Amino acid sequence: MISNLLTRRAVLSGGAMLGIGALLAACGQQAANEASASTASSAAPSETASASAAASESPSASATPRVTRGYSGNSKAPDGEYRKADGYGPAQNVPKPRNEPAQYPENEEGLIHMMEDWVVAHNYGIQTGDCSYAKKYVSENTEEYKFYEYLEGLYQRGGWVIEGLDSYQQESIPVYDEKQKIYRMKIRIFWTIAMYIEPDGKITKQANTNKDDDKFNFFFSYSNSYWKIIGSGYSDTPENNEE
């Protein structure tokens, strides 16, 4: 069984899609206006295309509502002013994480520092679609890595994420598995709601209404002074880290 974090991500591959309706009703016109005021070279094609965000329920393909990314808060934020994502567009001026993972000692303090750095990179990826920083902290075969690939595709398509940020609390000391040469540590995830906006005018919405599965294990490797996340799940071994 995979973690609560990953369980809510799994819906993205085939979960219930809801009409975005009034939430994004003004996005199309606003985004078109903003796009025309900016240089074509500074925006991706999906960001400059004209769109209509009318909440049409018509089965006709031509009537399918489209959403074009604009500016959160319905205006471009001044340089350096952080502005969270909303129905108009993704977050603006999100503080960047460190460029590369730092070297930390092979102890509890070092592991916690790495996790703090990763969470910053993780939430940066959620808000911007740039997951290059977060990917450096996780193995490619993890669900976390797959989630980052989903986010990159979502933003490249012209979508974005509203809310969806994660924070974590340590629930146990790190435990070393001598046989597998890995560490595990129980954590609690905190999140409330996540809305994944598609440019076709639909969203995937998740809410953390069940707290029973908010605690789970992260698994880590340590090599050459670097920590890395190699899995997560409810069992004590990463081999069972699957649905």
User: What pTM does this model have?
Assistant: 0.77
The CATH label, of 3.10.450.540, 1.10.10.10, 2.60.40.1180, 3.30.420.40, for the domain at 4-240 is: 3.10.450.540
Whole-number pLDDT of residue 23: 52
Domain boundaries, the chain: 4-240
Give the C-alpha separation, 156 to 139, whole Å.
23
The total number of residues written for the chain in this structure: 243
Give the C-alpha separation, 64 to 120, whole Å.
36
Q: Over 60: is that where the pLDDT of 182 sits?
A: yes
How does residue 66 score in pLDDT terms, banded at 50, 70 and 90?
Answer: confident
Q: Where are the beta strands (DSSP E) in the chain?
A: 18-19, 160-163, 167-170, 175-177, 182-190, 193-197, 202-207, 215-223, 226-233
Whole-number pLDDT of residue 2: 38
Whole-number pLDDT of residue 9: 54
Whole-number pLDDT of residue 194: 95
**Nearest alpha carbon to residue 155 among 94, 221, 225:** 94
Amino acid at 24: L
**Residue with token string 């070393």:** 176
**CA distances, 139 to each of 34, 135, 186, 206 (Å):** 39, 8, 19, 25
State pLDDT tens for residues 97-151: 999 999 999 999 999 999 999 999 999 999 999 999 999 999 999 999 999 999 9
Q: Do 2 and 242 touch, CB atoms closer than 8 A?
A: yes
**CA distances, 181 to each of 45, 140, 217 (Å):** 47, 19, 16
Strand partners, 204: 196
- Which 8-state DSSP code applies to residue 236? S
**CA distances, 147 to each of 80, 126, 176, 181, 231 (Å):** 28, 10, 27, 26, 13
State pLDDT tens for residues 200-225: 989 999 999 888 889 999 999 999 99
